[in-house]
Chains A and B, each alone.
Chain A
Amino acid sequence: MLMRDLLQTASKGVTVNRGRSLLTMLGIIIGVGAVVLMTSVGRSMEGVILGQISVLGPDTVAVFPGNQGPEGGNSALRPDFDSLTFADADTLAQLDTVTDVAPVVFVSGNARYGTEESDPRIVGSLPGYYENQTVEAALGRLHDESDERTARSVVVIGSDIAEDLFLNQSPLDKRIEIANKKYTVIGVLKPVGTQFFQNADERIIIPFSTAIAVTHRTYADMIVLKAQGDLDLVLADVTSLLRQRHGIIPPMDGGTENDDFLIRSAAQAQEILGTVSLGLTLFITMIAGISLIVGGIGIMNIMLVSVTERTREIGLRKAVGARRRDILLQFLIESVFLTFIGGVIGVGIGLGLDYVLATAVGKYLDNYTFEVSIGAIVLALAMAAATGIAFGIYPARKAADLNPIEALQYE
């Protein structure tokens, strides 16, 4: 039998019962749709993660007090919250392999201007902070050493804070109130979007000396710095210096469990977020794979029903000269048709949902864009076709092995 005839016969077998074929395909549609959607979402999230970190640059390093990770807003709630001293920051600044070392103190309180109020993240830090966080002034200026020397009551505000408090007015030289103290706005930062899923445009930066004066703090909430040269070497330098200063003896295996500080680089964060994203994608792809298997079993079931229903037809085909392989191929192609068409519909639905999702999420997450992975589509369709072959072979063999006369006389 010619391949063209086989394809025509098989396509007729699928289209003759459209409703049933569509229901049979449902498992494959869901499976393939999920694969396409999740791989596309994975790629979009990768873009977001890269976006979160790309502003900082991979050589930005943050040292946190304690050993419980940087998560959890108030460091005072964590053990060893006061382990990082300002002297640590000064000593780190002596290293040749780092620049722009800036201790950070968080100040709590709302910002108010007239009747407008905002809930910013208030950062007290040195001018080096602007360098290692890669932020620039859009309006006015950033605070400098002279502001630090005199602990001047000045602030540099993020673009969202400027909008919240001042709407269309120029914020420069206006006096805002933070925790019952007045500050003069000297600059507005250029918008940078979200960093590590926090809105970086909702921060207010005050001079480090001013923050110390207000909070009377003797320890830093974190120290940020910029690595120069090989990142691993810099991390080793910083670790060894802090251990030396804190009198920490590391265990023989070189583990970090004795440390009272934690070092994170943007590159590490990128790696961790990337791993999490990949893990999530793999997990959901696995679920989609299970859906494909369930869909495949559905296909096998319906194909077995179809073989039983069409037993007389199979007998007739054999009586007019069909060989075993003609019948085998006819039913196998029907099964692959079902899964492949299901796959194509699944790709369409997956891409459609991804587009809707990208449009919706893109409004809230910078860098979340509609991503189409051609590789994932090809893989999903190939998996669908493979499912058709894997689950179609048994019914097709059952059909091909039918005895012609028994099949013709089947009631």
Chain B
Amino acid sequence: MSTPKHIPLIETKKLCKSYFNDDLETPVLFDIDLVIERGEFVAIMGPSGSGKSTLMHILGFLDHHTKGQFLFQGEPATKMDEDTLAKIRATRVSFVFQAFNLLPRTTVFQNVLLPLLYHPTIPAAEREGRVQRAIEAVGLSERSTYLSNQLSGGQKQRVAIARALVTQPEVIFADEPTGNLDSASGTHVMAALQALHRAGHTIILVTHEQSTAEHAERILKIYDGKITDDLRSFKRRHAKDGITIEK
């Protein structure tokens, strides 16, 4: 009796990405071979312009690669049409951005609700409870009626985290989530991501800071579009004031 073949959550083979401006090709990523398993907390670390954000955008179905293979649970991304990609973004992945990207002049509640509007299976009756639990998990219950512009940077990023976890996705991508924050707020955000990881989510963190990357259990170093190191984080940092996650 043969054991079923192991299928990783994310796998890339010789993945390349180039940008084209008229006839001018600008290569950004070269022959990326990568495997990320379910439940991992991976940091992609590299200097500015190294291609780390581009890699995250491709793995998060926000952008397309130009050569090689990208498999999500064994399924090649190139065979997915736009509606399928949108469905994956709605149900299986979510994002936390450096610039927060909250809807302006909109309440915390409405911002966290946004992904549920596009979720194909979560019924409308369940939305309110899910949004409230997500806001509670990041400790902002008292501020759910605040407008996004009435919040501090740290609070905005926690709203973004609540928005990322409200659909209970398999993978949460965080692109420089502490980049616009002071160190105390940054610690709070990293604590939140570690709590999400403990709750079973796969976390892929993009950062240029070694100290931030050390919150992950695995660090991929990227330089000039190539992965130069794939390390276990031996002296892993643990952020305090973590959030509570309901699974």
Contacts and interface: CB of A to CB of B under 8 A. Distances in A.
Which of B63, B90, B117, B124: most chain A CB closer than 10 A? B117
B130 interface: no
B98 to A, nearest CB: 11
Contact of A1 (B62, B83, B118, B163): B118
B86 A322 contact: yes
B95 interface: yes
B94 interface: yes
A395 interface: no
Contacts of A318: 62, 86, 89
Given A2-B124, A318-B89, A323 B118 contact: yes
Interface string A213-225: 0000000000000
Interface in B111-146: 114-115, 117-119, 124
B101 A321 contact: no
Contacts of A404: 62-63, 89
Given A9-B117, A405-B62, A316 B86 contact: no
A246 interface: no
B63 A405 contact: yes
A326 B119 CA distance: 12
A312 interface: yes
A321 B89 contact: yes
A322 to B, nearest CB: 5
A2 B86 CA distance: 15
Contact of B118 (A16, A312, A326): A326
Interface in A142-168: none
A323 B91 CA distance: 13
A319 B118 contact: no
Nearest to B83: A323
B226 interface: no
A317 interface: yes
B117 A5 contact: yes
Interface in B74-92: 82-83, 86-87, 89-91
A252 interface: no
A174 interface: no
Contacts of A16: 105
Contacts of A315: 101
A2 B117 CA distance: 7
B57 interface: yes
Contact of A408 (B86, B94, B101): B101
A320 B114 contact: yes
How big is the B interface, by class? 20 to 34
Contacts of A316: 101, 103, 114
Contacts of A317: 114, 118
A320 B90 CA distance: 5
A323 B86 contact: yes
Interface in A293-328: 312-313, 315-324, 326
A321 B87 contact: yes
B1 to A, nearest CB: 40
A158 B94 CA distance: 88
Interface in A308-361: 312-313, 315-324, 326
A318 B118 CA distance: 9
B103 A323 contact: no
B97 interface: yes
Contacts of A403: 63
A318 B89 CA distance: 8
Given A313-B103, A405-B62, A1 B97 contact: no
A179 B119 CA distance: 94
Given A5-B117, A405-B62, A320 B163 contact: yes
A335 B114 CA distance: 21
A5 to B, nearest CB: 5
Contacts of A405: 57, 62-63
A317 B87 CA distance: 12
Residue picked from A317, A322, A323, most chain B C-beta under 10 Å: A323
A304 to B, nearest CB: 19
5 contacts: A16-B105, A313-B104, A320-B90, A326-B118, A404-B89
Nearest 7 A/B pairs, CB to CB: A321-B90, A321-B118, A320-B115, A323-B86, A405-B62, A321-B89, A405-B63
